[in-house]
Amino acid sequence: MTGLTESQKNRLTELGLSAEELPGDFETIADREKYFKQREKGLVAKNRQILNRLLTETHQPALCQLQFQLAQTLCANGFTQVTTPTIISRKFLDRMTIDGTHPLNEQVFWLDSKSCLRPMLAPNLYSVSKDLMNVAKLPLRVFEIGSCFRKESEGKSHLKEFTMLNLVEWGTPMEERGKRLEELGRLVLDAAGIMDYATEAENSVVYGDGLDFVGADGLELASTSMGPHPLDAAWKINCTWVGIGFGLERLLMYREHQQGIHRHSRSISFLDGARLNIK
């Protein structure tokens, strides 16, 4: 009896075969080699089909399409899109209470002693919203879609660089916050083509008590927050609000029933869910 070699297992999983689909032992080496060649050929053809469809039909990977769809949906529902810098100052993280003792501090990509790659969109959204409140009446609805960076252990559902959608509605009536969070979460997930999810109470290390949107398999799809919140004072904001954050690569992984998040990430190895090296 003999099983697939490690290199054969790696090759098949890179091409999209899940760990659960990997076969057990074979009677002979010849049986193993026959299986491997046939399975590899089929997976290569599948990956080639995905890449050909991208090149000849869609011309945009699913991640770009999803960003466009979500932006259109939110703008059609009264939200204004903003774009802010990827590099942020230490003082912005300090205002979020992410200091040397905070669990998230060790995940920050520091560029120097005063600046880093943003680990979240919230600090910039706080800053932009504070100024917009001087020219707009509440409720004020804003969102951003952009890259964030954390020193994560890159497992099935985490990336060091990932694409976030954060939305916030300032001025939501206190008694409507919970209901509004569910409405906005449903709005985004429906636009993303995701219908099978539930909500669970959660406590965030940054935002405190909130609500998570969770997939049928237990995967976190979105986390929420609401205010007034202790963080608001650092930004001189004093109103009720609700906010939600979504990781877009994670939404795609869940929607497309992928075994890992990397196939839809910003990558030079994968593109639109397909392995690029299929020779």
Residue range 236-265: mean pLDDT, rounded: 93
Residue 275 lies in a domain: no
Q: Do 183 and 72 reside in the same domain of the chain? A: yes
* Whether the predicted pLDDT of 156 surpasses 80: no
- For residue 106, what is the domain's CATH number? 3.30.930.10
CA of 276: how far to CAs of 62, 65, 93, 228, 271, in Å? 15, 19, 37, 47, 7
Residue 277 lies in a domain: no
Q: Do 115 and 137 reside in the same domain of the chain? A: yes
User: 249: which 2 tokens?
Assistant: 């690569």
* Whether the predicted pLDDT of 208 surpasses 70: no
Q: Do 97 and 116 reside in the same domain of the chain? A: yes
Domain count, the chain: 2
Query: What three-state secondary structure class fits 278?
Result: coil
The answer to whether 117 and 87 are in contact (CB under 8 A) is: yes
Of 34, 59, 84, the residue at which a domain comes to its end is: 59
- The pLDDT confidence band at residue 207, using thresholds 50, 70 and 90, is low
Q: Do 29 and 91 reside in the same domain of the chain? A: no
Give the pLDDT score at 203. Answer: 64
d(CA 184, CA 77) in angstroms, rounded, equals: 10
Give the pLDDT score at 204. Answer: 60
φ, ψ dihedrals at 112, nearest 5°: -160, -165
- The pLDDT confidence band at residue 279, using thresholds 50, 70 and 90, is confident
Measured distance between the N- and C-terminal CA atoms of the chain, rounded to whole angstroms: 29
Residues 166-196: tens digit of each pLDDT: 999 999 999 999 999 999 999 999 999 999 9
Give the pLDDT score at 102. Answer: 78
Sequence-ordered alpha helix ranges (H) in the chain: 6-14, 29-53, 62-76, 90-95, 122-132, 177-191, 248-255
d(CA 178, CA 226) in angstroms, rounded, equals: 9
Q: Do 103 and 223 reside in the same domain of the chain? A: yes
CA of 264: how far to CAs of 1, 17, 91, 163, in Å? 37, 15, 33, 11
d(CA 2, CA 147) in angstroms, rounded, equals: 44
Residue range 18-26: mean pLDDT, rounded: 85
Of 19, 37, 59, the residue at which a domain comes to its end is: 59
- The pLDDT confidence band at residue 144, using thresholds 50, 70 and 90, is very high
Identify each DSSP E strand in 150-278 by its residue range: 161-170, 197-204, 208-215, 220-227, 241-247, 270-271, 274-275
Q: Do 130 and 166 reside in the same domain of the chain? A: yes
The answer to whether 248 and 164 are in contact (CB under 8 A) is: yes
Residue range 65-77: mean pLDDT, rounded: 98
Residue 14 lies in a domain: yes
Give the pLDDT score at 209. Answer: 64
**Cβ count near 233 (within 10 Å):** 11
The answer to whether 264 and 279 are in contact (CB under 8 A) is: no
Of 14, 43, 59, the residue at which a domain comes to its end is: 59
d(CA 2, CA 13) in angstroms, rounded, equals: 19
Residues 47-60: tens digit of each pLDDT: 999 999 999 999 99
Q: Do 199 and 77 reside in the same domain of the chain? A: yes
Residue range 15-33: mean pLDDT, rounded: 88
CA of 259: how far to CAs of 74, 102, 256, 264, in Å? 29, 31, 9, 11
- For residue 51, what is the domain's CATH number? 1.10.287
User: 146: which 2 tokens?
Assistant: 């952009």
Residue 49 lies in a domain: yes
Residue 77 lies in a domain: yes
Residue 182: which domain range?
A: 62-264
List the one residue out of 6, 245, 241, 46 whose CA is nearest residue 130.
241
Q: Do 89 and 39 reside in the same domain of the chain? A: no
Residue 276 lies in a domain: no
**Cβ count near 51 (within 10 Å):** 16
* Whether the predicted pLDDT of 152 surpasses 60: yes
d(CA 215, CA 197) in angstroms, rounded, equals: 4
d(CA 188, CA 201) in angstroms, rounded, equals: 19
